[in-house]
Structure 1
Amino acid sequence: MEVAKRAYERVMEWIAATSSVQVQTNSFFIDRGTTWEPPPQGWLKCNFDSSFHSDSEHSGLGWIVRWDHKGAYIDSDFAHIEGIHSSLQAEASAFLQALQMVWVKGWRNVWFEGDCLPLVNIVNMKKENIELASLLEDVRYWMSKLPNCSLGFINRERNSAADKIAKYAY
């Protein structure tokens, strides 16, 4: 029931974020929330983000791994990379770095979250994207090495820890 409730809340959050219509369900308004939510029992949660500025071709990437209902910290890291041409490419690079780090650490049940809805849709709907090309191929390869992983979208407020790490890396 808890997982179903979270899934419902995520769908309603997505509708609210992508629609100009205010969402109302069962006479109460959906709270988009600003606090991090824990993963399901037995899973880790990895939030990732990037810091990209269009006037430069580099980006800061950051990710943080937590678990349990209190969000106990496990690990985090960052990277500064060159040759980035868009915010979408930066977000995909952050996700790829997080995937690789999680695999190297031996963690297998991981719920990834990022605040870039276009990336989440491209990955989850198995879409092709010329801008991401080989980067997307790498993301899919590393996801296949983690068969118990998922990628979800969260709003920027709930991704603030990863955002701060990415800004530091930039």
Structure 2
Amino acid sequence: MTNSTVSGGGFVLELAPGTHMYGYIGMDQTLSPMHAEFTILLYAMKNSLQLGVTSMFFESDCLQLVKLINDEEDWLAMASECNEFIHLLSLFTVFSISFIARERNVRTDLFAKGARSQNSIFFHVDSVIPDG
């Protein structure tokens, strides 16, 4: 949907070997793909904390986002996301983020496409893989 006002995103939290939570999100269109990636990371961080998991190793197929966080670059256009990120980060005992190649991140890309196809705003997290 090229004229959609909805962006989609997804994440998978591995809570323990073989135990996963799947996030599937439809959100207002963001200013850029980078904003969308950052927003999804923030959702994943919040969900991890809500589940009581404060030690997490995140992966993203957005190399620019990983560099922004790991190199602590200052990007004024992302100020509100950065402020929220810093707050959430302070609640983790262990946090890291690394790059994962897109071809190794197929499941979350499918969640994002599925969320966009819903063309509505929603947030769903479950231990069951979403249909579609």
TM normalised by structure 2 equals: 0.79
**Pairing of 1:1-170 with structure 2 (within 5 A):** 55-66=3-14, 67-68=16-17, 72-170=18-116
Mapped contact 1:80–1:169 kept (Cα < 8 A): yes
Given residue 62 of structure 1, which amino acid in structure 2 is its aligned partner?
G
Mapped contact 1:54–1:85 kept (Cα < 8 A): no
Structure 1: stretches of 5+ with no match in the other structure: 1-52
Question: How far off its partner does 1:57 sit?
Answer: 4.2
Structure 2: stretches of 5+ with no match in the other structure: 117-132
Distance across 1 between alignment mates of 2:22 and 2:36:
18
Distance across 1 between alignment mates of 2:36 and 2:2:
11
Question: Runs (4+) of structure 1 moved beyond 6 Å?
Answer: none
Distance across 1 between alignment mates of 2:28 and 2:98:
26
If asked which structure has higher relative contact order (CA below 8 Å, sep 6+), I would say 2
Question: How far off its partner does 1:147 sit?
Answer: 2.6
- Aligned residue pairs: how many? 115
What SS is found at the alignment partner of 1:91?
helix
TM normalised by structure 1 equals: 0.63
Choose 1 or 2 for highest CA Rg: 1
Structure 2 residue aligned with 1:24:
none
Distance across 2 between alignment mates of 1:157 and 1:89:
21
Structure 2 residue aligned with 1:50:
none
Structure 1's 110 and 147: CA in aligned 2 closer, same or farther, altered over 3 A?
A: same
In percent, how many aligned pairs have the same letter? 28
Mapped contact 1:61–1:165 kept (Cα < 8 A): yes
